[in-house]
A and B are shown apart, each in its own frame.
Chain A
Amino acid sequence: MAPVAPRSGDAIFANIERVNAELFTLTYGAIVRQLLTDLEEVEEVNKQLEQMGYNIGIRLIDEFLAKSNVSRCVDFRETADVIAKVGFKMFLGVTASVSNWDAEGTCCSIILEDNPLVDFVELPDTCQGLYYCNMLSGVIRGALEMVSMKTEVTWIRDVLRGDDVKLLKQVPEEYPYKDDECFMLKKIKISKHLFKDT
Chain B
Amino acid sequence: MVREVSESCLDSLLTEVVSCYCNRFYPNKHDLAARRIEAIGYQVGHQLSERYTMERPRFNDHLEAIKFICKDFWLELFKKHVDNLRTNHRGTFVLQDNKFCWLARMSIDPLADSGKSPEDITSPTAGNKATHAMKMHLYFPCGILRGFLTNLGILCAVSADILTLPTCAFTIRIKA
Contacts and interface: CB of A to CB of B under 8 A. Distances in A.
B164 interface: no
A91 B6 contact: yes
Contacts of B36: 34, 38
Interface residues of B, number: 29
Contacts, number: 96
A183 interface: no
Given A23-B77, A31-B17, A116 B3 contact: yes
A27 B40 contact: yes
B16 A52 contact: yes
Nearest to A39: B25
A94 B36 CA distance: 31
A62 B160 CA distance: 31
A17 B43 contact: no
Interface residues of A, number: 32
Interface string B1-43: 0111111111011101101100001000000000010011101
A48 B24 CA distance: 10
B6 A34 contact: no
Nearest to B37: A34
Given A30-B40, A34-B39, A38-B36, A22 B3 contact: yes
Interface of B: 2-10, 12-14, 16-17, 19-20, 25, 36, 39-41, 43-44, 47-48, 51, 76-77, 79
Interface of A: 13, 16-24, 26-31, 33-34, 38, 48, 52, 55-56, 59-60, 63, 90-93, 116, 119
